A and B are shown apart, each in its own frame.
Chain A
């Protein structure tokens, strides 16, 4: 069974060109307040996360790549690019109009190459998303993008909860070697439903309680690569792309824990050196 919201998103996506041709922007009463309203919303969230700290806008320190119109609102791919990567200590990702907006906080350790992060998120309705880069000198810089997707937080997974939880905590990691002395790209896949708590069990018609990955710690030996603080806005079966600077031959260790005391640890041997 396909989530009906995803089906809707698809049908809306297909009907877009026709609709776009037929009508220009029509301003309903109150629509002129929209930008102010979205800004006020962002300010409220920003204060709840960063307090009084100044957050400057940036065109260079962090960029968001996201589909303008997502085909599946429960699986929206996000790429965060931080070209001046030596300056970056952490990155935060916020989905403004999700009821739980603070989707992810990633801090980078000494073994990280923080140039690019990819993850997949749930989007509840048409919304601004914000990425906030934290530089090593403690400053904050924000970038925004508007994403059209709807219903991602409540979309059912199309299987029973038991099926969705099978193999929970299993992990895979794929490597793409960047060459000698370069960063190694890695894709971490964690099997976990990441139940949002807003998804209705299609059989019992009850809401499946939230069960989501709260923390993922990735290390090589004693060196931290990154730490992810997650949320219900991360898509089910979380996938995280990142890059790291390997040193020596120790394996990559991943520790993941969820909000119901689930804890999983896996080790992945480094790819053999390329010839």
Chain B
């Protein structure tokens, strides 16, 4: 127990310095990770496959996985001059469905229901359809989102921890708008 605590403390202390493949062997939390989303993540997600970019390329070559991006949206910084152009554009894996902050935990029941409803639509109700969750490196959001889907009985959940940065190192990104259903529900919620 003590060793666990020490590891967790070390992970917290090092959180800001973590590359995607964390040198800290962080254990999986029992449920969701409810702390800050940025920080070291575990190397595993029970019930899901963890993919590196080679794994994702291989998966995309043989299947059409549902790509779920839960990265937070950029919000206009407080204190920025009103006449400055603010034109955020979210670059991600082409054809990804972007539901910002859907990996939050806890997630309010309305958003959780909407997230699951959207995934059910995107998979056509097929619980064996491959799904990939991702955001940025060292982001718990995609881990939580993957876990949420494992809990719902999806059998081919994949977690891609290096996320958008891991993808853009090898491939082109595309500007993707927030999922329409998700943005309707989320309008007005502060992000990032």
Give me the interface of A with B, judged by CB distance under 8 Å.
Answer: 1-4, 7-8, 11-12, 15-16, 19, 23, 26-31, 33-34, 37, 41, 44-45, 48-49, 97, 99-102, 125-126, 150-151, 156, 158, 196-198, 200, 202, 205, 207, 209-212, 214, 231-232, 259-260
Chain A residues with Cβ under 8 A from B136's Cβ?
151
A210 to B79, CA, bound (A): 5
Q: A41-B175, A44-B87 are in contact. Are A198 and B77 (CB under 8 A)?
A: yes
* A30 interface neighbour in B80, B84, B86, B174, Cβ under 8 Å: B174
B165 A29 Cβ-Cβ under 8 A: no
B171 and A210 within 8 A (CB): no
A2 to B168, CA, bound (A): 22
Q: With A4-B19, A125-B168, A205-B36 in contact, do A48 and B85 touch (Cβ < 8 Å)?
A: yes
Using a CB–CB cutoff of 8 Å, the interface residues on chain B facing chain A are: 15-20, 36, 38, 57, 60, 74, 76-81, 84-89, 91, 93-95, 136-138, 164-165, 168-175, 192
Question: Does A125 contact B85, Cβ atoms closer than 8 Å?
Answer: no
Verify B16–A4 contact, CB threshold 8 A: yes
> How far apart are the CA atoms of A27 and B137 in the complex, in Å?
23
26 contacts between A and B (CB under 8 A): A1-B16, A3-B16, A4-B18, A4-B38, A4-B138, A7-B18, A12-B165, A19-B169, A23-B170, A28-B60, A28-B95, A30-B95, A31-B94, A41-B89, A99-B86, A100-B85, A101-B85, A101-B87, A102-B84, A151-B136, A151-B165, A196-B77, A197-B80, A209-B77, A210-B77, A259-B81
Q: Provide the residues of chain B in CB contact with A45, threshold 8 Å.
A: 85, 87
The answer to whether residues A156 and B81 also contact, given A12-B169, A99-B88, A198-B74 and a CB cut-off of 8 A, is no
A34:B172 contact, CB within 8 angstroms? yes
Say what secondary structure dominates the interface of chain A: loop
Which residues from chain A contact B85 at a C-beta distance below 8 Å? 45, 48-49, 100-102
- Are B94 and A207 in touch, CB under 8 angstroms? no
- What's the least CB distance linking A72 to chain B, in Å? 14
Residues on the A chain within 8 Å of B86, using CB? 99-100
Query: If the complex has contacts A2-B17, A23-B170, A31-B94, are A100 and B175 also in contact, measured as CB distance less than 8 A?
Result: no
* Bound CA span A23–B171, Å: 10
B79 lies within 8 A of A8 (CB): no
Q: A12-B165, A26-B170 are in contact. Are A259 and B87 (CB under 8 A)?
A: no
Chain B residues closer than 8 Å to A156, beta-carbon distance: 16
Contacts of A232 in B (CB 8 A): 77, 80
Give the docked Cα–Cα distance between A102 and B83 (Å).
11
The 8 closest A-B pairs by CB, nearest first: A197-B77, A30-B94, A99-B88, A210-B77, A210-B79, A31-B172, A209-B79, A99-B74
B17 and A1 contacting across the interface, CB-CB below 8 Å: yes
Question: Does B19 lie within 8 Å of A8, measured CB to CB?
Answer: yes
Rounded to whole Å, the gap between the CB of B165 and the closest CB of chain A is 5
Structural contact, A125 and B173, CB atoms closer than 8 A: yes
Minimum distance in angstroms from A205 CB to a CB of chain B: 5
Q: CB within 8 A of B78: which of A12, A26, A125, A197?
A: A197
Q: Is the CB of A2 within 8 A of B171?
A: no
Given contacts A99-B74, A102-B84, A196-B77, contact A28 B94 (CB under 8 A): yes
Q: Which residues of B contact A197 (CB under 8 A)?
A: 76-80
